[in-house]
Every structure is written in C-alpha cells, then in structure tokens.
Amino acid sequence: MDGIDTLKARYLAAVAGAADEAGLEEVRVAALGKKGEISALMAGLGKMDPEARKAAGASLNALKDEIDAALRARKVALADAALDERLKTEWLDVTLPGRPRPRGTVHPVSQVMEELTAIFPDMGFSVAEGPQVESDWYNFDALNIPPEHPARQEHDTFFMHRAPGDNRPPHVLRTHTSPVQIRAMMERGAPIRVIAPGRVYRMDMDQTHTPMFHQVEGLAIDRDISMANLKWCLEEFCRAFFEVDKVELRFRASHFPFTEPSAEVDIRYSNTGGQLKIGEGDKWMEILGSGMVHPKVLQAAGVDPTQWQGFAFGMGIDRIAMLKYGIPDLRAFFEADLRWLRHYGFSALDVPDLAGGLSA
C-alpha cells in the first residue's frame, strides 16, 4: 500500500487535473466510491490491532476529508469557469438599438372619422348614427326618391334578400348617409345640427370606387340657414382638416332629389411629382354633394318646411383621406399591400395623376 502522503499527492493531483465534472466523478469513485481505494483501506482497518487501527483510521479519515474537500472545491471552480465561458458567449450589448418590430397604426379612414368628429362639434354639430341595413323608405322615399325614380338605379343598390312571403318593407344596404338626416330630424326635431359618419354601399368597383365606402353626412336646420352658411362651414372644415390656411372650393350646380338647390363641391389641389397639395394648382377633386334640404324631406321627417330650412351635405371620407394622406388608389384601403401606411406620417406617396379618374 502506498503511504498516506503518496495517496494524498496522487488524488489531489488527479482532482486538480480533472477537466470537467465527469472527470471529477471518476476520481471520486476511484478514491471514495464503494470499491474505491480509500474505501478499501478503511475496510481493512477491522483486521488491524487496536493501536494501529486508531492511528491508521485517523489519518485515513483525514485523507478522506481532504480529498472530499478538494473534490468540492474543484467542482465549484469548474462550474464558475463554465459560467464565465457561457457569459462570454452570451454577452449582451444593452446599448444596441432594439430590433424594429412592425407596428400597426390607426387606419386612415378611422383616423379621418376621428378628425371629422373633432372638427364639426366645434361648429355646434353633434354626431348622429343610423343602421347600415336600412329600409328603402329611409334610404329613398323619405329623401324624395320615390319608387321608379331613376336615382334608385343610379345608386346601384344592394338589396337585402327576402324570403317568399316575407312582407316586411324592403331593406337595402344604405347607399348614402342621408337616411340619417331623416332619423335625426324625427328623433330630435328642429333646430338641429348633426353630422353622421359611416359606411355606405354601392355596386361599384374601380380605381376610385369601392363597393363599401364612407361618407359623412352634415345637416343644419334652423330658421334662416342658407347656402352661405354651407359654404362657410365647408371652408372652415377644410381649413381645419387639411391644416392649411388657404382652401378653394368650387360649387357646381347639380341635382339631388333631396336638396334644392343642389351643388357638388370640388376642392382645388395640385399634384407635383406625386405630392398632393390642397389650395393651389389646377386640379379639382369632387369631395361632396350638398344643397338646401328639400321641403318634402323636411315634411317626411316631421319638420315644418314653412318654419325651418337648412343645408345638408354628404362628403366622401375616403376621398378626403386620399387627398390628405396621398393615397393613389381607393382599393388600397381594403385589399392592397398596406405598407403605404408607413407614409402615414405624411409625405405623400408617388401618386399617379389623379385627374380625370376622380369625379364621382
């Protein structure tokens, strides 16, 4: 048997030389395992006489403790080293800029609706609502569009399906927000000032038309409201909405069954290299229909036309959103790659010439 000192030197060297936990375990088993060298020596103590046993036992125990302590210390050192190694590779530079993540934004149409409902209330208008599935009475009759009136065809109406034998009045997807005029007047009477933003539907699809689009209806009824008030109100709105001092609106005589006189309104803009600008240039975009509310419409809504009068308008929200945010194609709102939303901040995109395509 090697002397205790030799054993000690050998095992401590083995412990120091172990490269990893597995190596350490091998040393432990060889020395202190059940069949280990030191364990075997301990087992041999029984055959010794008491004196020798005492001396050998003490030094064997001391050796066992020493090897055990060395094993533990080496284990901790190896773990520390492994952690250091890992930390070196997993080092994180917290000063690096974060990875950009694609972010959503409010849809321009929603944004514009919010803007509308902030601007008009400053002029005394409150917000009214009506259903998108509307009876043909509200959508047409009450607005002085009787059955067989050509305007019904012009509206390219979506009719709701009716089962045979269903005698409820026909319903349509509202073709404009004007039925909300009727609902608002029936509910609140006169005087009244409301706007009604919302979705409307027509069977139409090209670069500047989609089957679903958005309008905002305006209605102002009082004792002596005139076209002059309408003009001021619209100009005021455009200045606030487009955030420009100068806007130029063009009133073109037109016809709607529910207004008399009627006018369509265009706004002047320029398009320089895709950059749209309001209030200058030689292009006009139609943005709304308007007029003085027809006496028959007041009557249908229970408002006395000998006492009350006023204006109404229906503005294309998608149109003014296109103008403000430089969106070239209405269909982009619904089905195209919406990455242009990034431009929402708000340099206009490379916009093809809008002239010609954009009258209603």
Widest CA span of the chain, in angstroms?
Answer: 134
Residue 205 φ then ψ, to 5°: -160, 105
CB of 270 to ligand PHE, least distance (A): 26
**Closer residue to ligand PHE in complex, CB, 171/176:** 176
**Closer residue to ligand PHE in complex, CB, 176/209:** 176
**Closer residue to ligand PHE in complex, CB, 257/326:** 257
CB of 249 to ligand PHE, least distance (A): 15
Residues in contact with 154: Cβ distance below 8 Å, sequence separation at least 6, in sequence order? none
Bin 128: left if φ > 0, else alpha if -120 < ψ < 50, else beta. beta
Point out which residues bind ligand PHE (CB under 6 A). Answer: 176, 178, 256, 259, 289-291, 312-314
Q: DSSP alpha helices (H): ranges in the chain?
A: 4-17, 21-32, 37-44, 50-89, 108-119, 136-139, 150-154, 179-188, 227-242, 295-300, 317-325
Looking at residue 285, its amino acid is: M
CB of 184 to ligand PHE, least distance (A): 13
**Closer residue to ligand PHE in complex, CB, 15/320:** 320
CB of 308 to ligand PHE, least distance (A): 16
CB of 134 to ligand PHE, least distance (A): 12
Question: Cα dihedral sign for 234, 195, 137, 130?
Answer: positive
Peptide bond into 261 cis (omega under 30): yes
Closest residue to ligand PHE, based on beta-carbon distance: 314
CB of 118 to ligand PHE, least distance (A): 21
Beta strands 259-272 and 249-256: pairing type?
Answer: antiparallel
**Closer residue to ligand PHE in complex, CB, 63/301:** 301
Residues in contact with 168: Cβ distance below 8 Å, sequence separation at least 6, in sequence order? 162
Binding residues for Mg(2+): 260
Question: Helix, strand or coil for residue 149?
Answer: coil
Determine the Cα–Cα distance for residues 239 and 231; give it in Å rounded to an integer: 12
What are 359's two structure tokens?
Answer: 């009258």
What are 259's two structure tokens?
Answer: 């207004």
**Closer residue to ligand PHE in complex, CB, 125/340:** 125
CB of 289 to ligand PHE, least distance (A): 3
CB of 290 to ligand PHE, least distance (A): 5
Bin 260: left if φ > 0, else alpha if -120 < ψ < 50, else beta. beta
**Closer residue to ligand PHE in complex, CB, 11/140:** 140
Binding residues: 260
**Closer residue to ligand PHE in complex, CB, 210/290:** 290
Peptide bond into 305 cis (omega under 30): no
How close are the terminal C-alpha atoms of the chain, in Å? 108
Residue whose C-alpha is closest to residue 314's, from 195, 206, 203, 202? 195
